[in-house]
Amino acid sequence: MNAEIQKVVLNLPATAEFVDIVRLNLYGIASKMGFSYEDIEDMKVAVSEACNNSVLYAYGQEHGMVEVSFEFDEEALSIIVKDEGESFDRVEHAADRTTLHDKDIHDVQIGGLGFYLMQALMDDVSVTNEAGKGTKVVLYKRLTRSEEKV
């Protein structure tokens, strides 16, 4: 078995129109890996939630970029969504919105449905915030193979 990790990186404007490009790339990579249609659809929903968080909250009215990396081997796929958005404290009424920015992972779980959805659809989800460096969401899914072929 070759355990070499392969990587595909997209750098996209943080606007809603580009989320479809992420989903199309995910579909291509995941289908080549052998993920089921259901798993791919679940991952598309999860990655859309992660991307939409960056699109809606990271940059306010300013234009920014989102980096989406797909790292994979024969066993699993990790999707990393990173932005370098401003601290969300600078946006008025920030507490009224559901976002992963500037929140501890335990606070996020109390927040909106987006995080719950990502957690439910993926095998593992982590969110990292660094002051002045933005937010990183890592979505992880193991490739499950049918054991029927013995």
Considering only 20-29, 69-78, 108-117, which range has the smallest mean pLDDT?
A: 108-117
- Residue predicted with more confidence, 150 or 77: 77
* Residues 70, 29: Cα–Cα separation, whole Å: 8
Write down the pLDDT at residue 63. 79
Q: For residue 150, is it within any domain?
A: no
**Per-residue pLDDT at 96:** 42
* Residues of the domain holding 59: 6-142
Indicate whether 18 belongs to any domain: yes
Is the Cα dihedral 52, 56, 59, 61 positive or negative? positive
Task: Check which CATH number belongs to the domain holding 113 and give it.
Answer: 3.30.565.10
d(CA 127, CA 136): 6
Rounded to an integer, what distance in angstroms lies between the CA atom of residue 130 and that of residue 83?
A: 11
Instruction: Give Rg (Cα) of the chain.
Output: 16
Judge whether 149 lies within some domain.
no
Query: Is 68 within a domain?
Result: yes
Entry pTM: 0.78
Q: Which residues pair with 125 in a beta bridge?
A: 139
Q: Give the number of domains in the chain.
A: 1
Cα gap 40→108, rounded to integer Å:
25
Q: Can you tell me the mean pLDDT for 63-73?
A: 94
